[in-house]
A and B are shown apart, each in its own frame.
Chain A
Amino acid sequence: MQPTLFSSVHLTVSQLTFRIRKLLEGDLEMQDVWVEGEISNLAKPNSGHIYFTLKDKNASLKCVMWKPDASRLRINLQDGIAIEAHGRITVYEPQGAYQLAVNLIQPKGEGALYQEFLRLKATLESEGLFDSERKRLIPMLPKKIGIVTSQTGAALRDMLHTLRRRLPLAQVILAPSPVQGVDAPPALVKAIQLLNSQLPDVILLARGGGSIEDLWAFNDERVVRAVADSKAPVICGVGHETDFTLCDFSADLRAPTPTAAAELATQTTVDDLKDLLTSYFSSISSLTLSLLAEQKTFIESVKTRLKYVSPERHIRSEYQHLDELARRAFSALTHRIQLQTSTVNGISKQLQSLNPEGILSRGYAIITRKDDGTLVSKVSQAHGELKVRVSDGEFESTVDRRS
Chain B
Amino acid sequence: MAKSKVLSKPVEELTYEEALTELEGIVESLEDGQNPLDESLKLFERGQALVTYCGVLLESAQLKVQKLAGDSLVAFEEESE
Contact = CB atoms under 8 A, between A and B. Distances in A.
A243 B11 CA distance: 48
A288 B16 contact: no
A284 B55 contact: no
B6 interface: no
B17 A160 contact: no
B27 A198 contact: no
Contact of B44 (A151, A170, A274, A288): A288
A342 interface: no
Interface residues of B, number: 35
Contact of B61 (A160, A168, A280): A168
A277 B66 CA distance: 28
* Number of chain A interface residues as a range: 35 or more
Given A198-B73, A283-B27, A277 B58 contact: yes
Contacts of B73: 173, 198
B68 A273 contact: no
State the main secondary structure of chain A at its contact with B: helix
A283 B78 CA distance: 41
A173 B48 contact: no
Contact of A288 (B40, B62, B76): B40
B41 interface: yes
A157 B31 CA distance: 44
Nearest to A168: B61
14 contacts: A157-B78, A168-B63, A172-B64, A172-B65, A174-B65, A175-B67, A197-B71, A273-B54, A277-B51, A284-B43, A284-B51, A287-B33, A287-B44, A288-B30
Given A152-B79, A280-B47, 15 more contacts: A160-B78, A168-B63, A169-B57, A172-B64, A174-B67, A176-B68, A191-B68, A274-B55, A280-B51, A284-B26, A284-B30, A284-B44, A284-B47, A287-B31, A288-B40
Q: 7 smallest A-B Cβ distances: which pairs?
A: A168-B61, A287-B30, A288-B44, A284-B47, A164-B63, A172-B65, A281-B51
